[in-house]
A and B are shown apart, each in its own frame.
Chain A
């Protein structure tokens, strides 16, 4: 792929790939470095830009299909940009039993999201359900960015989101 001198991708997307290159040189180019590289790129960009995946494939000497295959296999990776606040509702057994469905509905209603999960059009919120967070004693549990909220109910949930803004 072509790149301009300022590190930006040569195509029309205009994504700065400088950090991707730095991450690759930090992690190394062996095949087992692929997942750590993808994790760091996702931390940096909040998703995996296609251009970044193509660059990683080139540097690691593997096919773009292999990189794409790994990226789509693991739930942690996202191919779409995420919102400012990432709301992860735990979908473990205890959270399910104690009614996480009502929490999800309250969040969707509050942030104005039609779908069961996804990102709002203003790129403010991303709603996801995730596997057990290990806070089962405090079910239902929700994580917003890195903060854990335990023993949630719809009213407390809406209040917690209100506080973010």
Chain B
């Protein structure tokens, strides 16, 4: 059903009232998470199974919110607890159930027990892996109870394919509110909110808007940086995929505020689902007059295009991204001129990241003071983080700025996941960020507190590391990443990162010398000072922070020829203790390269020339016979 052209606040209110009534008339709504994480665990197959089996069992269900049926099947964006996906949130008015790790084989039982009889399928409830306690509703689970979702309220609650459901949550009211007002006031509202760039830099968003608004020129552009390249970060992908309309609304408001009539969303090629979702959302907006000429009957025109990236991390840098949209190699340019004065095709250009724009509709609707009621004085609002690595609960979270690392790792993340392995460090901010230790657990996650300890918020990737992680290897990993992603423009970034990588490889090969550490440090500072863009300036951070906080590990690799974490292949060989081996043969079965041989009931042996040191044998052996 088409909702027709939207030309006034009244139209939005009417749609909202209809959505509210339609939701109220439903008996049960199945909210199946089809975000990137759950999709990787097979959510699309679960969705298909629901469609087929609901129909086969004669349950009359709907996908469109306005259909008059009592059972609704909804495909939502990221619900957060990705590790336990596919996630299914079942809502009966005020009563809710939350199922985890749902497979197509569970669908029959869910329909019979839950959809028809409103009873719980106990085995699908989330159980705390440490206490064994089962939780019926989503919000009771500590992972969710300790969060504060403002931006993600809609993501995971509404059908990500539905414009109507977004409007039902007061979506696009922000545009209705600003149309006809002085655009300087819109910029000021954003400035007053204290919103800072969520892409990592933390520059005050409102100030950027004002600069672009003041820039002279008939033609201006609004660009969204959706080139979320930081390894370990996926929140922008989740917003584009699951809550695309919030991003579009933010960009339309920005277009009005700075006087632009054209926008570009630059999405990285690795996010095909996000691209699909954005295309659908743009088409929906064009159809009902929220994008295009005379938006909502006003004289404001705005259109949005999607530009697919082609796989270059440096395109996350704003000037490089602009060159990439223009069809060139994505190499950064010196600033000034800033994009606000001379950006895309030399025109004044406002460029912000996905999460920054997506926060704007809430700020416009609820006011700057509301936004400031969350977070800290200098870093207001909430921020999404992706929590991954060696932690019990991995997924996407949203918390007020200023929350401590400890709260994220322990209360939300549930602590380290490997039994007996203590928390060692948290890597924050991706390749530009740093590794912080247990001494930093009380550090607050905000722009300024992190800067003080040599880290940065970055885009919000938070990777938890435990005792089994070698910090020299972590540094080498990031150096390898930035080295291969360096565009080659600045000599210090291009050559310096290469030399740093060689030194790290030398240390990891057991051939390091103590003087290498001084050279490494010297190079790191030179690369930092001598590079043009953020990539080079921050590339040495992982090395500098590990040298500062984990120098003893470097020394152990160099002097003792040992890896304290026991992770470096160079320093270990796998063998089977003939005394302990019972000859069960399990290890030989698990070995992916057939390096283990022997006869049942007599000790097995490992062929070191074939062994890839994956550790599968040691993990399998019940008798602790595999030594390394």
Contact = CB atoms under 8 A, between A and B. Distances in A.
Interface of A: 30-36, 38-39, 69-70, 73-77, 91-99, 102, 105-106, 109-110, 130-139, 141, 146, 148-150, 153-155, 157-158
A137 B330 contact: no
A153 B41 CA distance: 15
A132 B230 contact: yes
A106 B233 contact: no
Interface stretch (B184-192, B320-328, B515-523): B320-328
Interface residues of B, number: 62
Contact of B327 (A32, A106, A134, A155): A32
A146 B40 CA distance: 10
B388 interface: yes
A132 B388 contact: no
Given A31-B328, A34-B327, A136-B463, 15 more contacts: A35-B308, A35-B310, A39-B269, A74-B309, A74-B310, A93-B231, A93-B388, A99-B614, A102-B613, A110-B592, A131-B481, A136-B386, A137-B395, A138-B41, A138-B85
Contacts of B477: 93, 96
Interface in B201-247: 228-234, 237
A131 B229 contact: yes
Contacts of A34: 327
17 contacts: A31-B326, A33-B327, A35-B324, A75-B311, A77-B310, A77-B311, A93-B231, A93-B389, A95-B231, A102-B612, A106-B592, A109-B612, A130-B270, A135-B40, A137-B37, A150-B40, A155-B592
A37 B541 CA distance: 37
B6 interface: no
Given A31-B326, A93-B477, A132 B389 contact: no
B612 A105 contact: yes
A91 B229 CA distance: 12
Most A-side CB within 10 Å, residue of B271, B389, B465, B478: B389
B312 interface: yes
A93 B430 contact: yes
B270 A132 contact: yes
B83 A157 contact: no
Contacts of B152: none
Contacts of A75: 310-312
B231 A154 contact: no
A140 to B, nearest CB: 11
Interface string B10-41: 00000000000000000000000000110111
B280 to A, nearest CB: 18
Most A-side CB within 10 Å, residue of B82, B271, B331: B82
Contact of B388 (A139, A149, A157): A139
Contacts of B479: none
B82 to A, nearest CB: 3
A132 B231 contact: yes
Interface in B296-319: 307-313
B443 interface: no
Interface in B584-598: 590, 592-593
Contact of A73 (B82, B329, B388): B329
Contacts of B270: 130-134
Contacts of B474: 97
Given A97-B465, A137-B388, A74 B312 contact: yes
Nearest to B233: A132
A91 B271 CA distance: 15
